[in-house]
A and B are shown apart, each in its own frame.
Chain A
């Protein structure tokens, strides 16, 4: 071990808390069968809240752990981000897990562990650490996607996700080895330094390495043409896990991409920029066009999220401090919106078992609050003003156009129009179509208070970001600046 390594273990306290929490949940689940059913999600949520609070203590830290993990504002931002997403997911899962799944202990425990993986993906400043963090997240997700083990679709989805994930990991590792071969290091800073002097002599290897890394990470974030696992995994996974996939798994992929490309690969930007531009363009085009045809709400949102990945990849393509900050802003807005949409869908599903778009007919009569929230969220996803989606997307598009990729931004505008079309079909079902006959006997759905509270808070978030984005934008701007200071 090199003596100059900084082994300040205190930097990792939030993750210790999360690790202990994961263990504690399993132990409680095993040892205290009496309280396990109802209390587990709330214990988990409490632990997450503690970890969140502790993470806040690291604001303005600028340090690293053994040259492997940066503990800076970027990491702090994502610590809070991922812990918050898990918090919402856990609360949204409470009812669902009780009625649909067995072994809740492991479920919550795996969610917490996957959060650690996601955080380290954002924190890693070295390729192998990044890889291991990614695997930590992925393996937890493989299990979680197939968690409804009595359900064929869930098993199928988990298996597919795992095999393709393994495939992607192989590509990524292979790519990493090429980059290592070309630069002689796996540390982001050293890679950047090696490439700074030009890539003569190993351009070919660099290119192959870059391609493989784009492909491998493309799988993880579900970029076309590496998106095939997404619809199946989204459809098969338990609903809260679908929500979690669409938020954390995606955001973590982008957190990694952003630090990797800005920290290590910026000097060879000419070698990868066009690749990402192409991937971004086909991703938003295809994702949105195929979404039109979907009848299952989870598949619809899966393709919609693929389209959203296209917008976000735009931000990696035209990489610069402004674009990064816009990307972080958009990602935050997107995740809040998406969690609002999914929480509403979960609550509706708990009450009705709905899965298809047509099951939402008459939702405005059966569950007015959920219908309104879902409408707000879908309008936001489509990029309507007043809601988060417009402003964050606009700022992203505008900064991308400003950095020389006007055509990509223009394509994004067109893709948003297409997305409005299929979101409107869902809204139409909810408000225009009459509720099924059973409505007369059943009356309105009873939605648990906690779900009502969650959707209301998330909806307020959607409006807040949409109307007054300045605080959040300032935050993401200072966070993104960290990436470009060195």
Chain B
């Protein structure tokens, strides 16, 4: 047993990635290859310190360690923002998740990004992200949480658009930034609202006030809903989930770290952090549960029809985040964070596996893969481990956390239990569909590596994701669609196992993907998390239900068998299934047409054209009057006076005068005389 972690060591966790950022920025460009080493070393050190924090937190039974508060912005009685570190059980768990996954991803990135023109920039952004994410977890003030919340959004924007010269990546980055900001609106308003009523930004104080009933019920409900809106944006909950699949345009390690394991879980973390407030407001709770359930099911259904392995994983992530929200909605706070914990490892493992596959085949299109289990044995084995864990098979990590959620759902909200159970079946089905398509059968050729400075990754992305394909893979058609010449596998070197820098993290991540579930064997995680709650908050006691556990094993098993029957044994024809369910199939393939709705109708038409356009037209033709016409006449006559008589100024004057009259009348009508 170690001593309790001193405050400076906790600060170091936060500042190490920042230091790595600074070092990388000032690194001479000739030494740019050192950037990866610097980043990995710093985050590795932060990981070790995080373990220390975890140990201290275990000793304190999850209760917050006491650290001193620092003045940041204190001006008279106007505003008081103090900054203090907050390390409790929840923080400690998150710290370990973020630093460990981050560390492994940085190592992997050294192999994956090798030779990329933006190598040092990549590691600079990654360090910025890690620092922001750690800040988000570590600080006690909701205002600071918001600041880092936006910072992770910003670094995610930079990293999705990392290959910014590719229009798809740039568009995806912008979309992600704007859509999540939509949720953040609610979050920021919630912060303003709670400050007006509670007079503090301190999270613990807000929790205490909420529990003590010092803040009105309505206010708390609105606050909780605002927080949830922010969380829904970041954690890709329906209807704000549309940005996450597109975010796959970023480099694959980024997807693993940010868009699977850490940042997207920040929404779940935030709701968990504010859990005592949610408890006081049952409406907000059941709303969160319902949205979570809807997200879990609808995203899993899309995952079934995707042909791009990274998008399958993206929808799987959305679905699993929905699972966590669902758990929070039914009060299963421990189960939700436990699932966040296990999910981080196996999902990062799966993403890195898909990156390894891409490294070998130059594509993410599963229709171009197949038979990789022979050439890439380690990737294959680790990918299967990740999938089994995700599908929730005993005794892998995913089983324990998923079972806890199901068990709680059974006890508290029956309809959510069934949704969660169906989702579990779908999850097993789509993961094993991916495995059979990718690793079994014959190799279907991959794609040509992209030439140029940019590492080839997603060249086939756009056509793959929009082209409505069938259940049945059709490599020839896919090749034509991707614009790549059909080449026999022998024509180029053929797929091969990735370099050890990439394989090692896969192996290392397999261990927690198998074993992380046992972390709660002695209810350690439960103690940690419950200890983080303030006095007076109640948590559903997780109980093991044998019936639920059996159901939670059988249903995914059915999913695996179905996937085997359709995609490996081909007992059932995928094509005829697709034909049979044509409307559903195309609905899913087009992701419920939500993107179309948002991009064309809401953003394109309603927002940009109708509202902005109408106002601009109003300005142009009514206010701006005959600017253009007048300009022409001025050009002709070169007479300013003539121009002024052409209606321009009169229009302005008339408008100003009528607004004035209008305002005056308004004043007279409304004024409290």
Contacts and interface: CB of A to CB of B under 8 A. Distances in A.
Contacts of B60: none
B124 to A, nearest CB: 13
A271 interface: yes
Given A208-B664, A386-B151, A398-B79, A225 B612 contact: no
Contacts of B78: 321-322, 325-326, 399, 477
B170 A228 contact: no
B612 A401 contact: no
A420 B192 contact: no
A202 interface: no
Nearest to B147: A385
Interface in B73-114: 73-76, 78-79
Nearest to A320: B78
Interface string A152-163: 100110011001
A395 B71 CA distance: 16
A275 B660 contact: no
B634 interface: yes
B608 A207 contact: no
A402 B80 CA distance: 13
A322 B195 CA distance: 15
B655 interface: yes
Contact of A413 (B71, B185, B615): B185
Interface string B119-131: 0000000000000
A413 B635 contact: no
Interface in A40-67: none
B592 interface: no
A172 to B, nearest CB: 12
A286 B615 contact: yes
A164 interface: yes
A290 B619 CA distance: 8
A266 B170 CA distance: 50
Nearest to A158: B640
* Max count, chain B CB within 10 A of own CB: residue among A212, A232, A394: A394
Contact of A384 (B150, B613, B624, B659): B150
A413 B384 CA distance: 46
Interface in B615-673: 615-616, 619, 623-624, 627, 631, 634-635, 640, 643-644, 648-649, 652-653, 655-656, 659-660, 663-664, 666-668, 670-673
A432 B165 contact: yes
A289 interface: yes
Is chain B's binding surface mostly helix, strand, loop or mixed? helix
B196 interface: yes
B653 A167 contact: yes
A203 interface: yes
Contacts of B410: none
B188 A413 contact: yes
B268 to A, nearest CB: 21
Nearest to B143: A394
B400 interface: no
A174 to B, nearest CB: 10
A386 B150 CA distance: 9
Contact of A406 (B185, B193, B663): B193
B72 interface: yes
Interface string A138-149: 000000000000
Interface string A3-14: 000000000000
A473 B189 contact: no
* Max count, chain B CB within 10 A of own CB: residue among A155, A171, A410, A434: A410
Given A424-B177, A469-B73, A385 B195 contact: no
A294 B71 CA distance: 43
Contacts of B154: 379, 384-386
A450 interface: no
B239 interface: no
Nearest to A474: B75
Given A270-B672, A473-B73, A417 B182 contact: yes
B76 A477 contact: yes
Contacts of B663: 211, 214-215, 225, 275
Contacts of B165: 432, 434
B496 interface: no
B527 interface: no
* Interface size of B as a range: 35 or more
A163 B181 CA distance: 41
Contacts of B612: 289-290, 292-293
B164 interface: yes
A401 B198 CA distance: 13
A473 B75 contact: yes
Contact of A470 (B73, B147, B161, B623): B73
B615 A289 contact: yes
B620 to A, nearest CB: 9
A207 B75 CA distance: 36
Contacts of B147: 385-386, 390
Nearest to B643: A156
B192 A409 contact: yes
A428 interface: yes
Interface in A152-190: 152, 155-156, 159-160, 163-164, 167, 171
* Max count, chain A CB within 10 A of own CB: residue among B164, B615, B631, B634: B615
Given A171-B660, A226-B656, A413-B189, A160 B72 contact: no
B146 interface: yes
Interface in A378-402: 379, 384-386, 390, 394-395, 397-399, 401-402
A401 B150 contact: no
Contacts of A226: 656, 659
B611 interface: yes
B419 interface: no
A369 to B, nearest CB: 14
A391 B379 CA distance: 46
Contacts of A278: 666
Contacts of B412: none
A30 B123 CA distance: 58
B185 to A, nearest CB: 6
A372 to B, nearest CB: 12
Interface string A197-215: 0000001000110111011
B73 A406 contact: no
B117 interface: no
Contacts of B73: 469-470, 473
B79 A395 contact: yes
A402 B197 CA distance: 8
A245 B243 CA distance: 39
A167 B178 contact: no
Given A159-B644, A290-B619, A401 B649 contact: no
Contact of A271 (B164, B177, B648, B671): B671
Contacts of A406: 192-193, 196
B146 A385 contact: yes
Contact of A385 (B151, B182, B616): B151
B652 A164 contact: yes
B75 A477 contact: yes
* Max count, chain A CB within 10 A of own CB: residue among B73, B74, B624: B73
B174 interface: yes
B377 interface: no
A429 to B, nearest CB: 11
B660 A420 contact: no
A170 to B, nearest CB: 11
A384 B147 CA distance: 8
B406 to A, nearest CB: 38
Given A225-B656, A401-B196, A207 B623 contact: no
B672 A228 contact: no
15 contacts: A160-B648, A163-B644, A163-B649, A225-B659, A290-B612, A322-B79, A384-B150, A385-B147, A385-B150, A385-B154, A406-B193, A406-B196, A409-B192, A413-B188, A477-B75
Given A226-B659, A386-B151, A431-B161, 5 more contacts: A164-B653, A219-B656, A228-B655, A292-B612, A406-B193
- CB-based closest 8 A-B pairs: A293-B616, A225-B659, A385-B147, A432-B170, A292-B612, A385-B150, A322-B78, A401-B192
